Amino acid sequence: MAALTPGTKAPQFALKSLGAKSFSLVDELATKPVVLAFFKVSCPTCQYTFPFLERLHLAYGGNKVALVGVSQNDGNDSAAFAKQFGVTFPILRDDMHSYPVSNAYGLTNVPTVFWIAQDGEIEITSVGWVKSDFEAISRKMAEAGKTAPTVVFKQGEDVRDFRAG
């Protein structure tokens, strides 16, 4: 099964963050859209992607859009990943034995990033690093926050169009 596609209702779930806070998709969607970014700490494309996601988090904040990572690793490894790559947005932990949330979303590769609208519909599914998908998520975050899109990529920075997950 491939990752859930746009137009699909996002499966509801509740997970704990690294700080042991509860996260419920239905509760978050009651107030804002959600960006879910699934990852494994050993994945080179995840390591490439997450600093750019952090830039979105810093640019648009968490008030109008929830940006959360969903780790397929244990808490210690996930915390080390967040520290190494400067991730300050919440990191949730999927159960490493059965991966119920990853499986519900049809993951076959990481990173996989979903934009979930407040009505619970998936509007963007991005597998691996796809620059155009990332830019679309950035635009949606700006629209949700009623702000101008920010410049996410720095002048002279070599940003790939695609990198497989």
CATH of residue 134's domain is: 3.40.30.10
CA distances from 62 to 53, 56, 67, 95 (A): 12, 10, 7, 25
Establish if 146 belongs to a structural domain: yes
pLDDT of 114 strictly over 60: yes
Q: What is the pLDDT of residue 108?
A: 93
Domain assignment present for 157: no
**Residue 1 clears pLDDT 60, i.e. is over it:** no
Q: Identify the band that residue 63 occupies on the pLDDT scale cut at 50, 70 and 90.
A: confident
Provide the residue range defining the domain that includes 134.
28-151
- Look at residue 1 and tell me if it is in a domain: no
> What is the rounded average pLDDT of the residues 40-66?
94
Q: Let me know: does 28 contact 34? Beta carbons within 8 Å.
A: yes
So what's the pLDDT on residue 123?
Answer: 98
The pLDDT > 90 percentage for the chain reads: 91
Decide if 86 is inside a domain.
Answer: yes
Q: Is the residue at 94 inside a domain? A: yes
Q: If pLDDT is split at 50, 70 and 90, which confidence band does 57 have?
A: very high
Q: What is the pLDDT of residue 2?
A: 80
Across residues 23-50, what is the average pLDDT? 97
Asked, for residue 159, whether it belongs to a domain, the answer is no
Can you tell me the mean pLDDT for 36-40? 98
3-state DSSP helix/strand/coil percent for the chain, to nearest 5? 30, 25, 45
Question: Is 25 in a helix, a strand, or coil?
Answer: helix
**Domain membership flag for residue 128:** yes
* 158 found inside a domain: no
Taking 90 as the threshold, does the pLDDT of residue 62 lie above it?
Answer: no
Average pLDDT, the chain: 95
The yes-or-no verdict on residue 61 having pLDDT over 90 is no
Total domains, the chain: 1
Buried b (16+ CB within 10 A) or exposed e, 39-75: bbbebebbbbbbebbbbbbebbeeebbbbbbbbbbeb
Whether this prediction's pTM lies above 0.85 is answered by: yes
